[in-house]
Amino acid sequence: MKARPRLPTVAAVLAACAIGLTVVLLTAPRPRSTTAPIPFQISAEVPVPRTHPSTSQPSPPRTLPGEAILAGFGSPSQPPREDLRRLRHLFDNALLLAKSARDRPLATPEDWGALLLGRWPGTEALLPTHHAALDSQARVIDRWGTPLHIHALGSGRFELRSAGPDRKLWTQDDVTP
């Protein structure tokens, strides 16, 4: 008589070992961490200016997003229309970021200045207070220092108009984007 291979028996033993090992691994106590989790805390500390380690000099202030968008604002090397195009781009970005702008009308240079300076609830500053596109009253101005004419069309749409070099609206030298 020939001996039969015992494959079913070997397979059954291997399956039983695998099941036993799984049960042991799942029920074995896990080692505990010796460090406690770090709790989440909100800090009201005033930020300290960063210094460069080798010079101990304060690092330059960070550039706000609006400064990058309005780079070259009022420059004689670019046409006045480019200033308005860049302002429109900044306004569009401000509207995307400020959800509260949907509930409040933005019709005056003062309204837009407040939004760009982060003075609305839930907004961040996009421009510093002493930017060339803002006057001392935080109004959005053109390169000649005249507040822009901003016509709100509704649904976040608007038209911009600069009074131009004569600083009088609705004359031949007015600038539009």
According to the model, what pLDDT value does residue 38 have?
A: 44
Residue 17 lies inside a defined structural domain of this protein: no
pLDDT at 89: 94
Tokens of 117: 């300076």
Question: Residue 23: its pLDDT value, please?
Answer: 60
Please determine, for residue 164, whether its predicted confidence score (pLDDT) is greater than 90. yes
Structural domain contains residue 7: no
Q: Give me the pLDDT at residue 156, please.
A: 74
Helix ranges, the chain (H): 7-27, 65-69, 80-97, 109-116
DSSP 131: -
The pLDDT of residue 50 is: 57
Kindly report the average pLDDT of the chain as a whole number: 79
Q: Is residue 141 part of a domain?
A: yes
pLDDT at 119 over 70: yes
pLDDT at 168 over 90: yes
Token pair 């200016």 in the structure block, residue? 49
User: Residue 108 pLDDT more than 50?
Assistant: yes
Highest mean predicted confidence (pLDDT) among 23-37, 86-100, 130-144: 130-144
Structure tokens, 36: 């406690």
Contact (Cβ atoms closer than 8 angstroms) between residue 174 and residue 164: yes
Give the pLDDT confidence score for residue 125 in this predicted structure. 93
Binning pLDDT at 50, 70 and 90, where does residue 159 land? Answer: very high
Give the tens place of pLDDT for each residue, 27-49: 666 555 454 444 444 444 545 55
**Phi, psi for residue 161 in degrees, rounded to 5:** -145, 130
- 133 domain-assigned: yes
Task: Look up the domain containing 132 and give its range.
Answer: 65-71+78-161
94 falls within a domain: yes
Q: Is 40 part of a structural domain of the chain?
A: no
The length of the chain in residues reads 177
Instruction: Summarize pLDDT for 59-71 with one digit per residue, the tens.
Output: 677 889 999 999 9
Instruction: Give a yes or no: residue 110 inside a domain.
Output: yes
Nearest to residue 140, comparing CAs of 111, 174, 169? 111
Spell out the residues 6+ positions from residue 171 whose beta carbon is closer than 8 angstroms to its own: 163, 164
- Domain total for the chain? 1
